[in-house]
Amino acid sequence: MPSPSRTGPGAGRMTWTRGAGARLRAWGLCAFLMVTAGAAGADGSDPVPVPTLPSGLDAGLHEMFLDIKPDGQMTYARFRFVAPEVAGEDAPDFEARVRDLEFLCNTFALPRVEATPEPVDRIVISLADRAIPFGQSDPDVTQFFEVFSIRDDICIWEEF
């Protein structure tokens, strides 16, 4: 049965989990991610600093949250970033964007995920030219995302 996320960036969005144990694990991990990242400045503090990307773009953290798949077998940590310059004539090419996403996974997301008390199966990194609500589409928004597995303390691009 779906249960609504009551706190954090995904408040109100349905999170599918099985049983109280899975819900507690998801809420605990979400709380941990928010604390380790400073809740992306949601408490009025300065936004979480994100290093300049290899392509030279400056990105900001939009949100991060857990996404437990309906079968309860996979937990995804989603990190959503915004960099207005990712779109347009001077935007980085595909290979530069992949390097940027790998960089964000290895230098920003992975240290936070590895510090959590519960395992995360995949990390999803998205980079858009502007913020939009998760799960919504907007033809005027340019957005890239990739999925990474974690092996030997590095992010492995799950090219598909």
Lowest mean pLDDT among 32-41, 81-90, 141-150: 32-41
CB 22 within 8 A of CB 67: no
- Taking every pair of C-alpha atoms in the chain, what is the biggest distance, in angstroms? 49
Helix (H) or strand (E) holding 23: helix 19-36
Residue 36 banded pLDDT, cuts 50, 70, 90: very low
| CA atoms of 102 and 67, how far apart (whole Å) | 20
Rounded mean pLDDT, 28-48: 52
Considering its fold, how many domains does the chain have in total?
A: 1
Assess whether pLDDT exceeds 70 at residue 43: no
Please give the pLDDT value at position 117: 82
Rounded mean pLDDT, 45-74: 88
Tell me which residue range forms the domain holding 102. Answer: 2-157
Assess whether pLDDT exceeds 80 at residue 136: yes
Residue 22 banded pLDDT, cuts 50, 70, 90: very low
Show the tokens assigned to 38. 């400073």
CB 129 within 8 A of CB 83: yes
Show the tokens assigned to 113. 């995920």
* The pTM of the whole model exceeds 0.85: no
Show the tokens assigned to 23. 């819900």
Rounded mean pLDDT, 25-42: 49
Assess whether pLDDT exceeds 80 at residue 34: no
Please give the pLDDT value at position 33: 52
Residue 11 banded pLDDT, cuts 50, 70, 90: very low
